[in-house]
Amino acid sequence: MKTIVSDGIQRMSSIGLGCATFGREIDEAASHGLLDYAYARGISFLDTALEYGDGVSESIVGTWFASRRPSADSVMLATKIAPPYEPARIVNAVNECLRRLCVPIIDLLYLHRWDATAESPASLAALDTLVRAGKVRMLGASNYTSEELSTALAIQGQYGLECFRVVQNNHNIAVSDITPEFRQICLTRGIPIVTYSPLGAGFLTGKHQRGIEPGSRFDLVPGLQGIYFHEAAKRRLRHLERVAVLAAQNQTHLALAWALHQPDVTSVLVGARTQVHIDQALAAQAFNAPALFAKLEGVRANAMDDLKEE
């Protein structure tokens, strides 16, 4: 498992374990089993959030930390807080996150999404204070556009505050929030990019072709449906299916491999309910097929998104 070393202490594996399923789709015992399985296979980057089950996911990760006690330099833990980002609310939220996670410091704290309060110098100063107080090691921005990220970095720089050092956005063959402009900002500033939903919350597996599968992510979180169930994403899904058939490859495997071999992406978060999902990600990481990926890129590169049926 490839890793990058941050601050010479914490490790971010190239595959991260997204913990949104914990407490929502699988219980604590199953979640701990997945954490054990992933950790034993070199997946050392764990990603959760306050909004995942209103803290339930964080609590499950916390009980795993409390019972397994992994060494501080063997796991990188990220969580996210939600808006509004008012100074007192930020501090209270982080203190609650620390309590649930059973750790003395959060390795990476994201703002879960942009909000007008995220551009307040006072709010950004509160984040800076948390870093200086040793409660947070690094700050990150999740689900930001290039314009929002540029503005935030400029304000942080203007006031001499701790800057966002990691970003996290949705990125898969059907839908992507990693634009060329966004990539360029990160490349210029040396900001690692973390991506999530390599299978589009299951959309790219093709299992929803005849309707939303009961018990699936789209069933449990209906708000996700609008992100994927539109004609542009469906055309990309059809293209993936065609390329997979012609190459005699499983389309889930191919979509995962594409996401895991994207340039300028440091880590890809993979959600899981069973050990099979982790094995799928590890197998996809070992499969590097640039020619096939280029065929998939053919439809993504079309700015008008008007792919003709082959």
pLDDT of residue 190: 96
What would the DSSP string read from start to end of 20-32? TTBTTTB-HHHHH
Report the pLDDT value the prediction gives residue 193, as an integer from 0 to 100: 97
* pTM score: 0.92
Which pLDDT belongs to residue 222?
A: 76
Domains and CATH numbers, the chain: 3-300 (3.20.20.100)
- What pLDDT does 8 receive? 40
Instruction: Output the pLDDT for position 308.
Output: 37
What is the CA 230 to chain-centroid distance, rounded? 22
Tell me what pLDDT residue 218 has.
Answer: 73
* Of residues 223, 227, 221, the one with CA closest to residue 203: 227
Backbone angles phi, psi at 108, to 5 degrees: -145, 115
Kindly give the parts of the chain with pLDDT less than 70. 2-10, 210-211, 216, 219-220, 299-310
> What pLDDT is stored for residue 227 in this prediction?
85
Q: What is the pLDDT of residue 210?
A: 66
pLDDT at 199: 97
CA distance between the termini of the chain: 37
pLDDT for residue 9: 38
- What one-character DSSP code corresponds to residue 108? E
